[in-house]
């Protein structure tokens, strides 16, 4: 007792860590934590699936305060977070240690199982048959019958062990290997260049280079159709996309939903579009505010407005341009929400020879604000023609770990098949004092073994038998004490005595 206590006290830090992860309870806790966090990650869409180039604004605007909190806590990109990957790594460590703790004793047990079992142990098997006045030829006949049924037969004197289906005993650990391969596939994405998932937002005609995948995309045209004139139900949205490496066009495709373009191990999906149209080009008319007299028009590109425009004898000089104007005097006046022309605001100086320049605002989507800012304006700027466009949202997905994950899934499936559809069957036979004793054991499917057992013993003229009901716990413990090797304990060849 003192020696055992001293041995426990001498455990190293490594031993304590090993024992901790060898606990099934710890593995269950890790699995529960992973399950709970995975569920939390599905409350709102992850960042790589939202139809917006601005995640922070999207979560707050779409889901309110809870969405804003969700984003600030980092749950919007949870599956790439360090703490989630740390949980996955802890699960991998637990799987490895739990498997080693159990698979090595199982392997030794099966490797060292006795061939010549004690007769009392054979009699205790749930499936047992015997024959009086037997001789060595009966053992030989049984051995041949077992081989025909694809049993592996080992003999020792007047005893034999026929075994098949040992691999299914390791089915659970094959599943563990498959899970570890899947986890390895998850961590492949940490290798630089092996993983990328993100949205690319492109205006019509715009080209954007994505450094993480090594190529650029250009929007050569975006089509948006509705079922109704009120434009409330979208019928389809499609993009003509081109892939560029440098200045060389490498691939093109008319992208529609669920039909991606694959290039350089990267899938390019038509994922979304910006529902708010942007101003592309327009024709602006300059008129006299009082009389309504027209002085002419000029064309403007809202993506690239010119410093000045000429309308007849008038020169219009750009003072300020706000692509997405916001007027809030209490927050400092006028500013822009973004660089994209969703709601353009122009501040121009209108002048002609002999006339002092007059400041003039034009806000196509906010004429009331324009009027408020310039009640005394002499002129009026009116947008008479406009060309609008929508920005397309393309989702890029590159994951070199996917083949690894698929391989892991195949291994897991193989392990499940072994566990549920195959059995480990062992049949012992021993000739003693002219009597042949035959006992069988399996880890499951006793009915199937019973049928096969009866066919085998029929070859030596033994009548069919039926397996006994499962022994009670106390009886099982007694049988274990009588014949320890039967329980797969690694004790060499004990039980060979008569």
Per-residue DSSP letter, 462: P
pLDDT one-digit tens code per residue, 177-200: 999 999 999 899 888 889 888 888
**pLDDT value at position 374?**
58
Six token digits for residue 340: 């994209």
Quickly tell me which residue has 């005893």 as its tokens. 159
Higher pLDDT, 137 or 481: 137
Closest Cα to residue 159, out of 127, 124, 113? 113
Q: How confident is the model at residue 490 (pLDDT cuts 50, 70, 90)?
A: very low
Q: How confident is the model at residue 485 (pLDDT cuts 50, 70, 90)?
A: very low
Give the list of residues 6+ apart from residue 493 with CB closer than 8 angstroms, or none: 112, 114, 115, 116, 485
Does residue 412 contact residue 179 with C-beta atoms inside 8 Å? Answer: yes
In 112-207, which ranges are continuous DSSP H helix?
A: 119-123, 136-148, 171-188
pLDDT one-digit tens code per residue, 37-83: 999 999 999 887 787 767 888 898 889 999 999 999 989 988 888 99
Six token digits for residue 497: 């005595």
Q: Give the whole-angstrom CA distance, residue 76 versus residue 69.
A: 10
Residue 480, pLDDT above cutoff 70? no
With b meaning 16 or more CB within 10 Å and e meaning fewer, what string describes 165-203?
beebbbbbbbbbbbbbbbbebbbbbeeeeebbbebbbbb
Q: Mean pLDDT in the chain?
A: 87
**pLDDT value at position 370?**
67
**pLDDT value at position 1?**
55
pLDDT one-digit tens code per residue, 115-142: 999 999 999 999 999 999 888 999 999 9
**pLDDT value at position 61?**
84
Does residue 218 contact residue 202 with C-beta atoms inside 8 Å? Answer: yes
Mapping DSSP to helix (H, G, I), strand (E, B) and coil, where does residue 258 land? Answer: coil
CATH class, 112-165+423-487 region: alpha beta
Q: Domain ranges in the chain?
A: 14-101, 112-165+423-487, 195-275+392-399, 278-386
Query: Of all residues in the chain, what percent carry a pLDDT higher than 90?
Result: 57
Rounded to the nearest 10 degrees, how much is the dihedral formed by the CA atoms of 18, 23, 29, 30? 40
Q: How confident is the model at residue 349 (pLDDT cuts 50, 70, 90)?
A: very high
Higher pLDDT, 384 or 369: 384
Rg (the chain; Cα; Å): 39
Q: How confident is the model at residue 334 (pLDDT cuts 50, 70, 90)?
A: confident
Does residue 205 contact residue 212 with C-beta atoms inside 8 Å? Answer: no
Quickly tell me which residue has 């006793």 as its tokens. 446
pLDDT one-digit tens code per residue, 245-293: 999 999 999 999 989 999 999 999 998 888 888 898 999 999 988 888 9
With b meaning 16 or more CB within 10 Å and e meaning fewer, what string describes 42-55?
eebbbbbebbbbeb
Q: How confident is the model at residue 303 (pLDDT cuts 50, 70, 90)?
A: confident
Residue 164 CB neighbours (<10 A): 19
Q: Among the listed ranges 97-106, 362-371, 453-462, which one has the minimum average pLDDT value?
A: 362-371
Torsions phi, psi for 45 (to 5 deg): -60, 150
With b meaning 16 or more CB within 10 Å and e meaning fewer, what string describes 282-311?
bebbbbeeeeeeeeebbebebbebeeebeb
Does residue 208 contact residue 394 with C-beta atoms inside 8 Å? Answer: no
């Amino acid at each position: 007792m003192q020696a055992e206590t001293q041995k426990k006290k001498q455990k190293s830090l490594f031993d304590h860590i090993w024992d901790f992860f060898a606990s099934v309870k710890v593995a269950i806790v890790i699995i529960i934590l992973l399950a709970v966090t995975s569920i939390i990650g599905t409350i709102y869409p992850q960042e790589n699936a939202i139809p917006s180039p601005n995640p922070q604004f999207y979560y707050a605007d779409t889901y309110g305060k809870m969405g804003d909190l969700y984003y600030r806590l980092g749950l919007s990109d949870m599956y790439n977070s360090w703490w989630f990957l740390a949980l996955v790594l802890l699960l991998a460590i637990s799987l490895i240690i739990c498997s080693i703790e159990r698979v090595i004793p199982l392997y030794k047990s099966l490797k060292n199982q006795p061939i010549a079992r004690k007769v009392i142990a054979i009699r205790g098997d749930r499936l047992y048959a015997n024959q009086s006045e037997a001789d060595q030829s009966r053992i030989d006949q049984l051995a041949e019958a077992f081989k025909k049924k694809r049993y592996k037969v080992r003999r020792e004197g007047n005893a034999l062990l026929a075994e098949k289906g040992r691999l299914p005993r390791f089915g659970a650990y094959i599943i563990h290997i498959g899970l570890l391969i899947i986890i390895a596939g998850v961590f492949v994405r940490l290798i630089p260049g092996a993983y990328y998932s993100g949205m690319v937002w492109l205006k019509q005609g715009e080209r954007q280079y994505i450094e993480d995948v090594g190529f650029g995309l250009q929007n050569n045209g975006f089509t948006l159709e509705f079922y109704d004139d009120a434009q409330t139900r979208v019928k389809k949205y499609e993009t003509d996309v081109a892939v560029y490496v440098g200045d060389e066009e490498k691939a093109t495709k008319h992208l529609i939903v669920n039909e991606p373009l694959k290039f350089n191990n990267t899938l390019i999906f038509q994922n979304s579009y910006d529902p708010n149209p942007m101003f592309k080009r327009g024709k602006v008319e300059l008129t006299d505010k009082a009389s309504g007299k027209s002085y002419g028009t000029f064309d403007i590109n809202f993506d690239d407005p010119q410093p000045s425009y000429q309308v007849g004898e008038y020169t219009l000089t750009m003072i300020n341009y706000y692509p997405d104007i916001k007027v809030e005097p209490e927050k400092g006046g006028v500013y822009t929400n973004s660089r994209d022309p969703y709601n353009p605001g122009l501040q121009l100086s209108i002048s002609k020879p002999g006339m002092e320049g007059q400041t003039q605002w034009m806000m196509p989507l906010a004429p009331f604000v324009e009027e408020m800012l310039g009640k005394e304006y002499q002129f009026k700027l009116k947008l008479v023609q406009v060309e609008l466009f929508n920005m397309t949202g393309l989702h890029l997905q590159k994951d070199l770990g996917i083949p690894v994950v698929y391989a892991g899934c195949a291994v897991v499936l193989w392990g499940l098949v072994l566990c549920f559809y195959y059995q480990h069957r062992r049949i012992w036979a021993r000739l003693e004092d002219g009597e042949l004793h035959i006992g069988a054991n399996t880890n499951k499917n006793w009915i199937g073994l019973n049928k096969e057992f009866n066919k085998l013993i029929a070859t030596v003229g033994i009548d069919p038998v039926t397996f006994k009901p499962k022994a009670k716990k106390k009886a099982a413990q007694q049988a274990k004490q009588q014949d320890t090797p039967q329980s797969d304990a690694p004790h060499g060849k004990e039980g060979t005595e008569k």
